[in-house]
């Protein structure tokens, strides 16, 4: 759903953005050895290389560090370092204990019981009476999950809506304020005792435990939410390996080791190994790349296509000789890039131009007419995989192997004939909207060139990213680019994009696609008695129907490529494009 620290007075003097005193700011500055501005300084800043601080850059600033509002990658990367949920994912993307030391499910798949660990504490923070973090209890789990089910700021209600008993009633009673007497608690959330918590579902949902690994499953203390009120989103308090000491808008976030963190390594040493983490927010690939080369950044989270030719070998599989001393991490990701088509005939955009929505043969022609191999090789420099299967990327648990669209100009022309536009005759330009991003623009230009050869004219419009996504969500554009990055590692998370009841705004189905057979197969896959092979087979049947109906124009699956400095050890990005820093070491300094 989709990232150590100073054991000194910094652990005794928690401070948040807007609340740092001048003396504390100076002390933090001196101990961490931070430069006045992350991207200003001498080349090869040896202080950064030799410090026990991990430096990296994000090309956007977090929108919020309140778990109920975490909705973009930068927020997830930072939130993952600050918070824990009941469960987490291990290096193989399998479920693993976090705040819950163990859990079990009833035979009918409706009751989930979680047994909490006894040594988990919130980080020290002024919101607590003595400034010391207290133990986590089952009441904290209920409080955190009921915040997710509260109307207003929460964007994560979907993980419980229609699944947990009483969640919908709880939400509606607070949304309408009926008689000024909202439902007190979600009846499906039960505090058995301080260390035992149960969740009761209304109907089986086989991947339910995976939804709890998303940021919406992170646990927060009531004291901090009430103390910081509207500013809790910039004053996070969690149980994770790090805690935040500074968030300077437009510049950087500083995290330091959480002295209350419960996890240890195999030798009994406390984790994390790092003293601190500093992330800047610079949306300039050239500057970021230059600072990485100087040694001022420990990590590159993206290899921009502009520099891929220098950094990578010709086929993109390994580092070039110039960059051979660095460390490359490459693995297939769990995301799919596509052009969506708004299918709802009641939307204004379909009423104005319904050619794509009403003509499945035209949609198929476009799918056959795109040379995905060329785009991934020459435009993306090998940093993607052609999307020639279904919506489920090959690296996703439950991948079905269903064959999708590959480049076939003859088949595309056949589909154009069936669509009523032989060789494109009579077909006026189709408007495609993408965000104002260089990469998406370059891909769109390549797609337009391919389609033009077939007689399919496309007009491109680039729009500011947030505006673009809102218009796609609201059905205000008919043909648009986006991607789906898995919230959790399960095939269901991709196929939910085609479940009719999840059509926007109720769920992730942006295309507003409806097919009763697909809906029936989706529900059948929820049977808790099914093996992985059983539910994967049902999703495969869904994919075959979706491919025929073509509500999406498939482009490519992601490849996760991160680059670190030679001195970074134990760094492991995930197919979800996340990372945690719990066991990361810098081998240029002593970590004993």
φ and ψ of 245, to 5 deg: -115, -15
Where are the strands (E) in 48-151, listed by range? 53-58, 87-89, 95-97, 100-105, 111-116
All residue ranges of the chain with pLDDT < 50 are 1-44, 590-592
Dist CA 555 CA 384 (whole Å): 10
CATH tag for 1-83+240-298+565-592 (out of 3.30.420.40, 3.40.190.10, 3.30.360.10, 3.40.50.300) = 3.40.190.10
Dist CA 88 CA 359 (whole Å): 44
Which CATH fold would you assign to the domain 84-227?
Answer: Dipeptide-binding Protein; domain 1 (3.90.76)
Residue with tokens 């940093």: 383
How far is the CA of 253 from the CAs of 256, 440, 536, in angstroms? 10, 28, 41
| Sequence ranges of the chain with CATH classification 3.40.190.10 | 1-83+240-298+565-592
Q: Give residues with Cβ within 8 angstroms of 383, minimum separation 6.
A: 303, 305, 308, 316, 376, 559, 561
Dist CA 134 CA 404 (whole Å): 53
Residue 563: how many CB atoms within 10 A of its CB?
A: 24
Dist CA 65 CA 311 (whole Å): 33
The three-point CA angle 447-559-214 to 5° equals 110
The whole-number pLDDT of residue 179 equals: 58
Residue of 357, 374, 444, 360 whose CA lies nearest to 409? 374
Q: What is the CA radius of gyration of the chain?
A: 25
The whole-number pLDDT of residue 505 equals: 86
| Sequence ranges of the chain with CATH classification 3.10.105.10 | 332-559
The whole-number pLDDT of residue 26 equals: 38
- Nearest-10 Cα torsion for 51, 52, 57, 61: -120
Q: How far is CA 271 from the centre of its chain?
A: 25
| Sequence ranges of the chain with CATH classification 3.90.76.10 | 84-227
Which CATH fold would you assign to the domain 332-559?
Answer: Dipeptide-binding Protein; domain 3 (3.10.105)
Dist CA 231 CA 217 (whole Å): 20
CB distance 277 to 243 below 8 Å: no
Q: What is the pLDDT of residues 469-516, one digit of tens each?
A: 899 999 999 999 999 999 999 999 999 999 999 999 888 999 999 999
Strand partners, 332: 559
This prediction has a pTM of 0.86
Question: Strands 552-564 and 327-341: what pairing?
Answer: antiparallel
Dist CA 195 CA 307 (whole Å): 51
Dist CA 196 CA 115 (whole Å): 5
CB distance 440 to 461 below 8 Å: no
Helix axes 516-524, 532-549, angle to 10 degrees: 170
């Amino acid at each position: 759903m989709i990232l150590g620290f100073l054991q000194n007075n910094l652990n005794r003097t928690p401070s948040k953005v807007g609340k740092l005193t001048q003396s504390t700011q100076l002390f933090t500055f001196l101990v961490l050895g931070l430069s006045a501005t992350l991207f200003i300084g001498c080349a090869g800043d040896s202080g950064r290389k030799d410090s026990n601080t991990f430096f990296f850059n994000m090309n956007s600033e977090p929108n919020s560090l309140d778990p109920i509002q975490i909705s973009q990658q930068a927020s997830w990367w930072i939130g993952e370092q600050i918070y824990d949920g009941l469960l987490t994912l291990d290096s193989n993307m399998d479920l693993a204990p976090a705040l819950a030391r163990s859990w079990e499910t009833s035979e009918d798949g409706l009751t989930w019981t979680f047994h909490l660990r006894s040594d988990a504490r919130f980080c020290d923070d002024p919101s607590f009476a003595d400034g010391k973090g207290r133990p986590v209890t089952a009441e904290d789990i209920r409080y955190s999950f009921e915040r997710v089910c509260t109307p207003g700021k929460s964007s994560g209600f979907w993980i419980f809506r229609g699944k947990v008993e009483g969640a919908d009633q709880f939400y509606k009673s607070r949304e309408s304020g009926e008689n000024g007497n909202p439902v007190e608690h979600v009846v499906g959330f039960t505090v058995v005792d301080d260390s035992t918590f149960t969740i009761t579902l209304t109907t089986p949902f086989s991947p339910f435990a995976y939804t709890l690994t998303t940021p919406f499953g992170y646990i927060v203390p009531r004291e901090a939410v009430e103390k910081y009120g509207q500013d809790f989103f910039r004053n996070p308090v969690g149980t994770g390996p790090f805690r935040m000491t500074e968030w300077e808008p437009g510049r950087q976030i500083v995290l330091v080791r959480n002295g209350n963190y419960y996890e240890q390594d195999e030798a009994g040493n406390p984790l994390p190994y790092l003293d601190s983490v500093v992330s800047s927010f610079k949306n300039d690939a050239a500057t970021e790349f230059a600072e990485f080369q100087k040694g001022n950044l420990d990590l590159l989270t993206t290899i921009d296509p502009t520099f891929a030719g220098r950094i990578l070998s010709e086929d993109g599989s390994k580092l070039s000789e110039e960059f051979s001393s660095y460390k490359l991490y490459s693995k297939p990701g769990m995301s799919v890039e596509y052009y969506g088509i708004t299918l709802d005939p009641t939307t204004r955009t379909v009423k104005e131009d319904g050619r794509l929505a009403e003509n499945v043969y035209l949609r198929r022609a476009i799918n056959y007419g795109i040379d995905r191999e060329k785009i991934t090789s020459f435009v993306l420099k090998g940093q993607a995989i052609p999307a020639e299967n279904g919506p489920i990327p090959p690296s996703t648990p439950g991948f079905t192997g269903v064959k999708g669209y590959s480049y076939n100009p003859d088949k595309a022309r056949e589909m154009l004939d069936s669509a009523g536009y032989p060789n494109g005759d009579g077909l006026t330009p189709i408007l495609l909207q993408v965000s104002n991003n260089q990469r998406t623009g370059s891909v769109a230009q390549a797609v337009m060139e391919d389609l033009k050869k077939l007689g399919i004219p496309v007009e491109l419009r680039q729009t500011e990213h947030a505006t673009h996504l809102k218009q796609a969500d609201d059905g205000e554009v008919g043909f648009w680019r986006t991607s789906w990055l898995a919230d959790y590692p399960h095939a269901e998370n991709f196929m939910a994009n085609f479940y009719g009841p999840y059509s926007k705004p109720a769920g992730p189905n942006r295309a507003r696609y409806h097919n009763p057979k697909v809906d029936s197969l989706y529900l059948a896959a929820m049977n808790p008695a099914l093996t992985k092979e059983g539910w994967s087979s049902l999703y495969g049947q869904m994919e075959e129907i979706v491919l025929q109906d073509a509500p999406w124009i498939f482009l490519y699956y992601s490849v996760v490529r991160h680059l670190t400095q030679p001195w970074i050890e134990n760094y492991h990005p995930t197919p979800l494009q996340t990372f945690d820093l719990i066991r990361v070491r810098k081998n240029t300094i002593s970590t004993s």
